[in-house]
Structures are given as C-alpha cells and as structure tokens.
Amino acid sequence: MNQFTLAIHGGAGTISPKSMTSEKEIAYRAALNNALQAGYKILSSKGSSLDAVEAAIISLENNPLFNAGRGSVFTHDGGHEMDASIMNGKNLEAGSVAGVRGIKNPIVLSRAVMEKSEFVMLCRDGAEEFGRLQNIDFESDEYFYDELRHNQWKEAVALGVVQLDHTEDKKFGTVGAVAMDVYGNLAAGTSTGGMTNKRWARLGDSPVIGAGTYANNNTCAISCTGHGEFFIRAVVAYDISCLIEYRGLSLEEACKLVVNDKLVKFGGEGGIIAADAKGKISMPFNSEGMYRGFVTSEDSASVSIYKD
C-alpha cells in the first residue's frame, strides 16, 4: 500500500460569512494549509500516521488563531487550562492530558503519556510534573496571552457566563487531525483550550478517549469539535466506530448518522473529521461551518470553511 490520507480541523461553528474579512480568510486558510503540509511531509516520506497527526496539531497549536496551545481561551481565573489526546489505531494505545497549564504543545505531552507511562490520562499538576520529567516544553503566561481572547474573557466575566468560543461570531476552535499512513495504520488526535470563563477545572470531550478522539485500524480514526458535554454524553467518536464495526455502515454513513441525526436530536452542535483504513475521509458538521482540510497521496491539499 502506498496510499495515505490526512484530514485536519480547526473547530466547528465558525465566523459568519457576513463578518469574515478577506484578510481573516486568507490567514485561516494559510494556517490550515501549513498544518496539512506538516503532516503531508511525513506521510509522503512513508512516516507514521501518529507522527503526521502530531505534526499537524503542533502546527495548529502554535498558531494563535485557534483555541489550542498558544491561542487557548482564558479560564474564570484568568489563566489557561488545556486538554489534548492522541490514539494509535494499530494497537489501541492512547494518551491524554487534562487541565494542563504552561504546556507549549499539549499534544506532545499526550503522546508522552501514551508512550512513556503506564497510564492513559493525566491531569493538572500531575500531568505537568510528568511533563517536566519528560523535558516537555513549557511557556510563560505571556506566550499564551492574546488581546482578543482577553477581551472575550472580560466580557464573559461581566456577563457571568461560560461561552463556547465559536458562538456569536467568535470562532477560534478546538483543533484535531486524523491520518492513515502507507502501512494502513490509523491515528487521531485532538487539542483544545476549552471554554471561555470555564471554572471548577471543567473538561470537555477532547481529552476523553472514545468521546472526542478515537482510532482503530479495524474501523476508523475520529477527531471531534463542538460542545464537549454533548459529545461526551453521546460517546461520539466510539459510536461512529461501533456503527462501522457492528452494523456494517460505511464511514460516511456512520459519521452522518451521528453528527446530523443523533447529536442534533439532543442539541449537540459541532462536527468531526474521520478517516478509515481504505483511505476514505468524511468531515460532516451540523454548525454553520467548520475549519477543515485534507490531503492525500492522490489529491492535493484542499481547505474549506463553510458548507460546500
């Protein structure tokens, strides 16, 4: 097999077309293309899907346009708490971190948890301590500061609300990637800064294996973005895998059933990116838009924002 595929997302919801300037659109598209190229470089050189997923997400985490890594939103206490996870479809190994602070690239720490510990999920102080032992890069509070994010936070505090960061024309969302390498192995990863003004160490679906991230060579690789509470309750990522494994649905059928039917019925907004071991890709969403893109061994990079 010499085929490979890579899909990425930068969050569902999106800025409405009426407020999207040409400058903003150029910036978002360039960021998505850069992430695709980071993963493509690895896959085209017969590198692993796991490496490609990590590289693509690192690129997105390093860009303040997205609510992950450097662009993470502010918590109620005025800090940043980040979540991430990664999963290897070849052996079902997974790693995730929740509520970490100061970590430059939470996806890197998630992979370290998967490969260098006996655990799947670490959180807050413990995850950070583990990160130091693994020489993971930390950054100061100044690195994560963004004026737009700060203004969003002040507004949320004044109103006494916790906000999904993609609502009301304020979209800078969760990031993720899924990939199939030339060996047929699947991988998935997701990273986020969570919700603006969140408190009490709230966690969404991104660090939860089976909810926000899942990969299994026998079925598919999934990364989710949206209102995390609904994605956790619906166990979205694993549900899609089960529909393929136990009901024999195609990737496209399973993804659409969960995103456009099951989630919608109880108010869940968002979308997913998915890939299977046949190299097929699906990227459905039930919101106004989703920053997304894909590249394969046969197709050049393509990025989109709104419904086609």
Averaged pLDDT, groups of 10, the chain, 308 residues long: 92 73 91 98 98 98 93 78 96 97 97 98 97 96 78 68 52 84 98 81 91 98 93 97 98 98 92 95 94 96 90
**Amino acid residing at 55:** A
CATH code where residue 185 lies: 3.60.20.30
Q: Residue 56: which residues within 8 A CB-CB, separation 6 or more?
A: 6, 8, 35, 36, 38, 39, 177, 179
Sequence-distant contacts of 133-137: CB under 8 A, at least 24 apart: 134/109, 136/103, 136/104, 136/105, 136/108, 136/109, 136/112, 137/103, 137/104, 137/105, 137/108
Active site residues: 174
| pLDDT number for residue 166 | 44
How much is the pLDDT for 22? 87
Residue 171 to residue 285: CA distance in whole angstroms: 15
Number of domains in the chain: 1
Q: Tell me how far the alpha carbon of residue 149 is from its chain's centroid.
A: 19
Tell me the residue range of the domain where 11 lies: 5-306
Q: What's the pLDDT at 79?
A: 73
